[in-house]
Structure 1
Amino acid sequence: MKLKSRYVAVALSLFAVLGLVGAAPALAKTYTIKLAYVVPETQSTHIAAAEVFKPYVEEASKGQIKVELFPNGQLGGDRQAIEAVQLGTVQMTIPAAAVLSGFEPKFQVFDLPFVFKSKEAAYRALDGELGDRLAETLLPLGLRNLAYAENGFRHISNNRAPIHTPEDLAGFKIRTMENPVHMATFKALGANPTPISFGELYTALQQKVVDAQENPIPLVYTSKFHEVQKYYSLTGHVYAATVLLMNEPFFASLPEDLQKVVVEGAVRYRTYQRELSQKQDEEMIAKLREAGMEVNELTEEEKRPFIEKTLPVYDQFADQIGADLIELAKRAND
């Protein structure tokens, strides 16, 4: 009887242990976000991703989300990265908003020449109704816009002479993105726009495939274009936004609490990145001068002929963009 009682006790103990195991919660599912972009580690996009977005998302998700960063175009240029996000092979990217015009023509509103008079005006447009309406156009493409950040105002560098008037650009072979509005803008100014991918630009300038290029201050400095370009003219002809894009099915697959973590991480990223971008503008223009680049800033009076010569670009793209969206962009300057 004692032996039988012992067997019963052992059996009951085993059932109790198994019961506890069965009651133990399952391990929380984990997710990995591959985040790709073309800029180097010294540029504000990467710094904000590394110092704000990645640590916040990983900590706030209690380790359920891991963020892997791929700077320097490791996973391809902006267009390739967007396509990879659409396919879901990459979960996130931070491309120039201008590249999105190849996916949704309405995004060309941001590329209209001199449409924003200041960064503050651009922020009002991006964070308001205009930005929201454009973000909605991406959802059917499998893309979710989490926030708009920035590269800054675009300016022109070249190896011939400082740019003060549109006539100074006559005959220039200038590298642009593969963006119809950018190309139309420089044609209106008398230049010869030549699309070249960003990753190939330094070599193209070095080998004199093109005479000039146009990019924001931090990208010019961090990409070392001052090594192959002598003059930098602060024309501010286009404000360049960036977009935090996520694969929409991936976002939808996240539990609601983790979706909130990602959205909050994007907002924190945007705020920090914009502040850092403005700081880098000031610091890096000084460094470009120290490196021997001749920098000139156009006065409002000097800008006027550029604005007048590029006004036909608005009419050229009004049907593709929508007159209502163009008006929303202009209204941000008020």
Structure 2
Amino acid sequence: MKRLVMILLMGVMVLTTVLTGCSSSEGSSSTTNGSDGEEVYTIRVAYVVAETHASHIVLQDIFKKELEATGKFNVELYPNGQLGGDRQAIEAVGLGSLEMTMAGEASISGFVPEFELVGLPYIFNSLDAAHDALDGDFGKNLDELLEAQNMYNLGWGDVGFRNITNSTKEIKSPSDMKGIKIRTMETPTHLTYFSALGANPTPMAFNELFTALQQGTVDAQENPSALIYNSKFYEVQSFMTVSEHVFTAAPILISKDFMDNLPQDLQDKVSEVAEKTKKAQRELLLQQNTDFELEIANEGVKVTKLSDEEKEKFKKVAIEQVYPGVVEQYGEELIQLAQKYNE
């Protein structure tokens, strides 16, 4: 744990040092003068996914293109964890030394604990329910909590429902998870859930995961199909179970200081383009998750889809061994607010 904390702190310091060199003394973005003498605002966006992922594609084709077309913005994209992992980018946005990131809600929960409720196992029974909850009162409640960390959420993008891959055996029931060393996100609910399944959950940075799988440091990991394919985990994994045990979102986070210091018309433009980006990202990612599930199988991975009855066995473990602790910590109100969209 001490090693993990030191690595995280070092990463934040490096990221902050790099970005501060491009920032103004107030911690907001650098500005330059355009050809007409007016200010041009730079928005740097850092994220861990690859250039082939839906998030990068829409940030490049919509967010960057449309904002730069106004002549008021310069948008710089940093995919593949070039500036560090999710948590380092979130930290930098909160400090005002990075303008924007698109990060998983599990990483955000390190700053706003309630965000881990989005990834509570089986809290949503469909993609539509997840979208309705996040675009509705459930998401708005979380967005308000985020502002205290000096960030705004411009829109709830998707990562998708997570599936399990491993190099050991086919997984069809909770008992099959016993003894498997699986990389998970560093959130209490995920650690508790996989421990309850009998696995050995091992948190680690996403950019370390491929090597860890390749070297056998961990046997397994869990991510949505598009991320599994784009990260080429099929090269070091033999089995995939379509478990859809957790939904993961990718909020578009922007520095509150940066946003508040923009003229109102430019604030409105950023919000408008971000909403368009979110909608396009959701559509493209849904297609990618569907297509890449087939591609993973074509790469030689044995893909097993759980039946409704098999999923219920995994869900039962979550309800009996994870939910009571979550209710004790956060109360029932937010959980019920999320689950009402399942109806």
Q: Aligned residue for 1:95?
A: 103
For residues 238-276 of structure 1, the C-alpha deviation after alignment (integer angstroms, 9 at most, x for no partner) is: 001011000001000000000011101110011100000
Choose which of 314, 321, 324 in structure 2 pairs with 1:306.
314
Query: d(CA) in 2 for partners of 1:33 and 1:322?
Result: 38
Q: Secondary structure at the match of 2:158?
A: strand
For the 8 Å contact 1:108–1:321, the answer to whether it is kept is no
Q: Aligned residue for 1:189?
A: 197
Query: d(CA) in 2 for partners of 1:47 and 1:92?
Result: 16
Q: Aligned residue for 2:38?
A: 28
Aligned residues: 307
How many angstroms does 1:58 deviate by? 1.7
Q: Aligned residue for 1:333?
A: 342
After TM superposition, the structure 1 = structure 2 runs for residues 55-94 of structure 1, keeping only pairs within 5 Å, are: 55-59=65-69, 62-94=70-102
Query: d(CA) in 2 for partners of 1:322 and 1:32?
Result: 41
Query: d(CA) in 1 for partners of 2:312 and 2:291?
Result: 27
Query: d(CA) in 2 for partners of 1:253 and 1:319?
Result: 40
After TM superposition, the structure 1 = structure 2 runs for residues 93-242 of structure 1, keeping only pairs within 5 Å, are: 93-242=101-250
For residues 83-111 of structure 1, the C-alpha deviation after alignment (integer angstroms, 9 at most, x for no partner) is: 11112221000000111111111111111
For the 8 Å contact 1:127–1:148, the answer to whether it is kept is yes
Choose which of 307, 324, 333 in structure 2 pairs with 1:324.
333
Q: Aligned residue for 1:10?
A: none
How many angstroms does 1:321 deviate by? 2.9
Q: Secondary structure at the match of 1:102?
A: coil
Report sequence identity in percent: 46
Q: Aligned residue for 2:9?
A: none
For residues 263-319 of structure 1, the C-alpha deviation after alignment (integer angstroms, 9 at most, x for no partner) is: 011100111000000110121111111110110110100011111111121111123
Query: d(CA) in 2 for partners of 1:231 and 1:293?
Result: 5
Q: Aligned residue for 1:40?
A: 50
Query: d(CA) in 2 for partners of 1:47 and 1:322?
Result: 38
Dislocated runs of 4+, deviation >6 Å: none
Q: Which amino acid aligns with 1:320?
A: Q
For residues 201-232 of structure 1, the C-alpha deviation after alignment (integer angstroms, 9 at most, x for no partner) is: 00000000011100000000000000000000
Q: Secondary structure at the match of 2:162?
A: strand
Q: Secondary structure at the match of 1:204?
A: helix
Query: d(CA) in 2 for partners of 1:305 and 1:70?
Result: 40
How many angstroms does 1:178 deviate by? 1.0
Q: Aligned residue for 2:252?
A: 244
Query: d(CA) in 2 for partners of 1:286 and 1:191?
Result: 27
TM-score when scaled to structure 1?
Answer: 0.90
Which runs of 5 or more residues in structure 2 are unaligned?
1-35
Q: Secondary structure at the match of 2:55?
A: helix
Query: d(CA) in 2 for partners of 1:302 and 1:140?
Result: 41
Q: Which amino acid aligns with 1:325?
A: L
Query: d(CA) in 2 for partners of 1:318 and 1:265?
Result: 37
Q: Which amino acid aligns with 1:139?
A: E
Deviates more, 1:282-291 or 1:190-199: 282-291
Deviates more, 1:311-320 or 1:273-282: 311-320
How many angstroms does 1:322 deviate by? 3.1
How many angstroms does 1:140 deviate by? 1.2
Query: d(CA) in 1 for partners of 2:154 and 2:290?
Result: 27
Query: d(CA) in 2 for partners of 1:319 and 1:263?
Result: 36
Q: Aligned residue for 1:4?
A: none
For the 8 Å contact 1:105–1:320, the answer to whether it is kept is no
Q: Which amino acid aligns with 1:315?
A: P
Query: d(CA) in 2 for partners of 1:41 and 1:57?
Result: 19
TM-score when scaled to structure 2?
Answer: 0.88
For the 8 Å contact 1:85–1:93, the answer to whether it is kept is yes
Q: Which amino acid aligns with 1:282?
A: T
Q: Which amino acid aligns with 2:261?
A: S
Q: Which amino acid aligns with 1:230?
A: S
Which runs of 5 or more residues in structure 1 are unaligned?
1-25
Q: Which amino acid aligns with 1:143?
A: M
Q: Which amino acid aligns with 1:322?
A: G
Q: Which amino acid aligns with 1:28?
A: E
Q: Aligned residue for 1:6?
A: none
